Structure 1
Amino acid sequence: MAIILQKRSKRHSASSRPVSKGLMLWAINAAPGGLEGGLSWGVAVEKDTVYYTGINTDRHNFTLFPSNETVSNSIFGAINLKDGSTKWQIAAPRNMSSTVILVVVKDVVLTGTSGDWVEGSLYAKEPGDFIALNKFTGEIFRYDVLDAFFHAGIAVVKGYVMFGTGYGGLEPLQNGSFHVLNIGSTPPASGSDAGNAGGNNVEKQADELDRLRDEL
């Protein structure tokens, strides 16, 4: 099965197609469009869920599911792979914009924001954030303001999370840093409810992130 994103059409959608036949199973309007998207840079797929970043650089109003909150900045969302139904959507914190590729680590979605991309601006300004979400609900249980613009993806190797800040493209050249975190991994409790197990693991990993962030 292939997941296809549209970046700058009228319908900025995510769609699902069986690779062998190319038949479309579903398509949804996942996020507003904009100069930089829309949807871009890829998604994370785990089991029955597609996780994505809706960039929305042109700051269009967009209503989130299931909260019905209207926002005009970037969003993070989760889609049911089987039928394309939306599981959850949540706005990026601090009214920020994001071009960061998210990644799933056990019960946590790691992502970030790039900076404050106001309407009419060619690039995001101010430092971005490092963000951890509950993959079951989208709840933001942690975010850290970084030292510079955050444009890159996040690499996870065994227990280590790595990403870089700073960028020189459309944006003015910014000095940044290379960040390495070591997060503990606690498997879901055997036989317990997945949502509750996820919440417990999220809290444990949040504590570990707090400790390691202080060390950095």
Structure 2
Amino acid sequence: MKRIFWVRSAIGAALCLALLYVVQGSTAMGTGAGRWTVYGYDLANTHYARDEHHLGPSNVASLAVKWAFTTTGIVPATPAVDHGAVYFPDGGGKLYKLDARTGHPIWTRTIAALTGTAGAVSRTTPALHGHTLFLGTLAGAHMIAVDTRTGALLWKRQLDTHPAAIITQSPVVHGGRVYVGVSSREELFAADNAYPCCSFRGSVVALDAGTGAVLWKRYTVPAGYTGGAVWGGAPSLDLKRRTLYVTTGNNYTVPPSVSACVEAAGDDPVAAEACLAPDDYIDAVLALDLRTGALKWARRLQGFDAWTGACYFGGDWCPDPAGPDYDFGTGATLFTAGQGAERRDLVGAGQKSGIFWALDRDDGSVVWSTLVGPGGELGGIMWGVAVDESRIYVPIGNNGQVEYTLQPSGEVIDWGSWSALDTATGDILWQTPDPTPGAQTRGPLTVANGVLYGGSMSGDVHALDAETGDVLWSHPADGSVNAGPAVVRGTVFWGSGYESFGIGTPGNTLFAFDLP
């Protein structure tokens, strides 16, 4: 079996613009002081709590546990916070509304009871709008709408009837519509030789927020191909352009003629990519019309990449040749570089290859790309980056324990790290290793008032100086941390526990940290 590990090189420095960074106001508008109502804090998916002024580099070292709420399972989602309440699901199949001040439960619901699907759970951040909470589920691939006041079900909608379909991407809501991507477990099911691999196709769906009616559905791969799951982070919205940006994963299978063509291409990645159908939008950033779902542009950034869990765990369903499994592990993030006539709107995303890409928002052309750290099937870059007025913050998981050199220190490590990139050029400004040697740093990041917050699979949470990368504060959790925190009015809400692909340790706590 031949495995192909092509990675497109970082695009030339001549394209990089020495520009200052400015967040686009129309799409990066925060959810408001005292609120965190979507996965990435805002429609631009920046994970930047720009309204936070209580915590900063000078006092974050004094953070202490305010309260800790015990759940029925792992807490891998960033919680949503609104009007003094915290909303989140757990791995035990519960959905909670807690009092943000005390941690006392206001109501608890069982997701299986809401969907009617046995064993249904969620790992996504709820999207809040008015008195409605929107949440995607794993088993059954349902989107549900719940009344935030009572926890009562308002509507439910199955987004894909494929038995392996799931929703791991967090939804966003705007203008009376809910937007979300659809993924699947089929890539993992393929490790079982008895499973008839493969038939799932990834998609992006827009629903009516009031009724749950599907307004449009856009598949990411054509008939005859499988995969193209839309699973990482959340979509981002550009209201000025009326455009939705999403990222996609790898193919599971391709037609036999394509496999033969790729085999014949040998070590020529350009020839191999030419074997794929033009509308096989894998390992790509897509720009879609908000109203219709029509494709505005797509930028495929890996080339050929057919892969299943059989390539990792063993089994007959590993494609031959196989790709490197270099999905986009994060959703798209919107930011703007430059001043005056030099301003340029960009969309960025992190890939499991370890590369962060910055593209022109109008046509998808590559402006710059940076290899931040080692790639791998489990990252590379996963789940979510953060962006403030001057830097992009990127986690590197490095599940393969590959040695690499941190910049500018020159330290050589073989575990996870956090990095800050210049938003105009992609230059690495600093890199900080996880304080626990051997640990992976895979979860989404949050930046607020000069502090970067990141969790570790070691079972710790950390706060770093956003300007220097210095670790300012650390605290043990009760299990691996693959969730991002919500930082609201001086309180950091953070979940613990993660178990997947044989990595991570269980935990079942939502923590609230604040100053004594």
Shorter-chain TM range is 0.7 to 0.9
Separation of aligned partners in 2, 1:28 and 1:14: 5
What are the within-5 Å matches in structure 2 for residues 129-168 of structure 1? Answer: 129-168=460-499
What letter is aligned with 1:72?
D
Separation of aligned partners in 1, 2:428 and 2:416: 16
CA contact (8 A) 1:149 1:176 kept: no
CA contact (8 A) 2:494 2:510 kept: yes
What are the within-5 Å matches in structure 2 for residues 30-69 of structure 1? Answer: 30-69=372-411
Separation of aligned partners in 1, 2:511 and 2:398: 26
Separation of aligned partners in 1, 2:410 and 2:512: 36
Q: Which residue of 2 aligns with 1:108?
A: 451
Task: Give a deviation string over 1:34-73, Cα, whole Å, max 9, x none.
Answer: 2310111121011121001011000000100110000000
CA shift in 2, pair 1:63/1:168, >3 Å:
closer
What letter is aligned with 1:87?
L
Q: Which residue of 2 aligns with 1:73?
A: 415
Q: Which residue of 2 aligns with 1:99?
A: 442
Cα displacement (A) at 1:168: 4.2
CA contact (8 A) 2:480 2:505 kept: no
Separation of aligned partners in 1, 2:498 and 2:440: 15
Separation of aligned partners in 1, 2:453 and 2:372: 19
Gaps of 5+ in 2: 1-345
Greater C-alpha Rg:
2
TM-score after normalising by structure 1: 0.74
Q: Which residue of 2 aligns with 1:193?
A: none
- Identical counterparts, % of pairs: 28
Task: Give a deviation string over 1:126-156, Cα, whole Å, max 9, x none.
Answer: xx11101000000012111221121211112
Task: Give a deviation string over 1:151-170, Cα, whole Å, max 9, x none.
Answer: 21111223221111123443
Separation of aligned partners in 2, 1:41 and 1:175: 19
Q: Which residue of 2 aligns with 1:194?
A: none
Residue 177 (str. 1) matches residue 478 (str. 2): no
What letter is aligned with 1:90?
T
Separation of aligned partners in 1, 2:499 and 2:355: 29
Separation of aligned partners in 2, 1:138 and 1:77: 8
Separation of aligned partners in 1, 2:398 and 2:491: 30
| 358, 363, 374: which one aligns with 1:16 | 358
Task: Give a deviation string over 1:175-204, Cα, whole Å, max 9, x none.
Answer: 42110122xxxxxxxxxxxxxxxxxxxxxx
TM-score after normalising by structure 2: 0.32
Q: Which has the higher contact order (CA 8 A, sep 6+)?
A: 2
What letter is aligned with 2:427?
S
SS of equivalent to 1:142: strand
Separation of aligned partners in 1, 2:403 and 2:507: 32
Cα displacement (A) at 1:173: 7.3
CA contact (8 A) 2:455 2:483 kept: no
